Structure 1
């Protein structure tokens, strides 16, 4: 025997639901299978425009290899899982930057052997990356561009263009273009700019203009181009960069580089009257102002004779976000 509902609305609601199901099933707005698949792919993948063309990468990568030590900090800042990276310099002992916090330990990051001939491709392959981030400035960038086809066979490979010379440009490309995290970059940029304003207001800038030099272990000096990197970081704090590269038509020691080799004669000529000099080591703390002051060629410059030559750590030459913040602390301490 059939039981009838005592609520007269129940048959009406049931009929409406049935009609709704039929209409939904027959609706011409239902998306074709290939459209649904495309939307799913769009949600799990991103397309990044690079100098090598468009590269399809995972939207949320799980195993990333970074083939330039100078770029790895950005990924740790964004909490991206870095399973492998290169050492800071191939002929120095490998070690993780203390500014990376517990990122390397949390991700079991391994060091990948590299040298003048390129990267250890077998080691990269064994790490099973789903994304390779490479490029940037210096030798690692050149090696990555040269080996791009081989790297791309292992995993989608994004080359950070060497023309992105500031940490701001590099970080923005990685955060926004590569990972779609523009807000994270904007937050960090604001924190940095707030700190710049704070330090600038607290320091007394010595005589300008200023030049920045990095010295190798054999004493060879390299002048940093005034329109890139560290000189620009100092300009933001009120230090005017001496336009030596522009005035003397100096060429980079390596094509596309950001520094020029100086001879002993050029040190005596080009730097003789520069009021302020900043001295760093080359890839490690190879020298300091006190050591250079014992050499006549340096002692005879205005900056050294007026005690306006200052030491900076080697890692300030090509800083990232964390190093840029650390540099502000150093400048504040030196000139407050």
Structure 2
């Protein structure tokens, strides 16, 4: 009896050992669903782990969060334009995105919602919420649906878009757009500098009811394109006062001191444009030389692919006529 039993035991041990070896080999292989840490730029070396059927683990800035692999009902309290640019399926957006004319078609049937509207968020039945770290009720939102939090400015505009691409399982598509966009923007910048000189300068101004603002290199209004992607220069006064904080408030009298060879003017429909009829404005060399490029404030207040492509086209025509 014992002699007949031993081979069976050995056979079972061999089978269990082989199965264990297969499991160990599989666990050392990266998952097909990738989502590196949100604080880092593009990387394909830190894939997400598959959590359960239809979900993945996303490494957010607040730690790992289990999210749908293909979310169908997203509430974008922040970064909604980035989501729209990747055809994310939104059911709720912030009021500023809703007002933006570039996204009117995509948000026509999407509800306006804020971090204070918990009842409305529940009614929208989201499977994913994207919020800002400064917002209220983050813990309560996390009880409604998986909630991913981003801190504004922690990532640059391209890294932020790539992070949304990872979140929506569209990392490769997003990286391809980044590579193509930066190449085209740099080429346009090189062409501008070849035409006007390496040291040609540009200022970005905006006005409201009482003040005028000049922007640094990362405050939307196309600043990321002009100063980062195109490599154009800002006047010394702009660099001194606006580069670090992002923007600087001016009195109308000193605007000429901050004006570059070219001016990008963000026109605010709700602002007081009477300043544009003043002699102070009319006597700025860029204004006299017809080197003012106008953009719409409402359509220029984000740095997502849709907005960037829209502004790149305007800038190419404004600087180069093509």
Fold-level match, TM-score > 0.5?
yes
Deviations 1:226-262, CA, capped at 9 Å, x for gaps: 355432311333531224354247874xxxxx32222
Quote the residue 2:110 is aligned against: 109
Per the alignment, in what secondary structure is the counterpart of residue 153 of structure 2? coil
How many residue pairs get matched?
A: 279
Query: In the TM superposition, what is the alpha-carbon distance from 1:43 to its structure 2 partner?
Result: 5.4
Query: In the TM superposition, what is the alpha-carbon distance from 1:219 to its structure 2 partner?
Result: 3.7
Quote the residue 1:87 is aligned against: 95
Instruction: Check whether the contact 1:166–1:228 (CA below 8 A) recurs between aligned residues.
Output: no
Query: In the TM superposition, what is the alpha-carbon distance from 1:172 to its structure 2 partner?
Result: 0.7
Aligned match for 2:280, one of 297, 311, 319: 297
Confirm whether residue 74 of structure 1 aligns to residue 82 of structure 2.
yes
After superposition, where does 1:1-336 map in structure 2 within 5 Å? Answer: 27-30=16-19, 41-42=51-52, 44-68=54-78, 71-88=79-96, 94-95=98-99, 97-99=101-103, 103-104=106-107, 108-112=109-113, 114=114, 118-135=115-132, 142=134, 144=135, 146-164=136-154, 166-176=156-166, 178-197=167-186, 199-200=188-189, 203=192, 204-205=195-196, 208-216=200-208, 218-226=209-217, 229=220, 230-235=222-227, 236-248=229-241, 252=245, 258-267=246-255, 270-271=257-258, 274-282=260-268, 286=271, 292-314=275-297, 315-335=299-319, 336=321
Label 1:334 to 1:175 Cα distance change in 2 as closer, same or farther (>3 A).
Answer: same
Label 1:173 to 1:122 Cα distance change in 2 as closer, same or farther (>3 A).
Answer: same
Deviations 1:31-80, CA, capped at 9 Å, x for gaps: 7xxx99xx862553333333433333222222110003xx2232233232
TM-score computed with the length of structure 2 as normaliser: 0.71
Deviations 1:254-308, CA, capped at 9 Å, x for gaps: xxxx32222335435x42x6332211035x57466xx543123323434334433
Label 1:164 to 1:100 Cα distance change in 2 as closer, same or farther (>3 A).
Answer: farther
Quote the residue 2:34 is aligned against: none
Name the larger-Rg structure. 1
CA distance in 1: counterparts of 2:272 and 2:265, whole angstroms: 8
Quote the residue 2:44 is aligned against: none
CA distance in 2: counterparts of 1:313 and 1:329, whole angstroms: 14
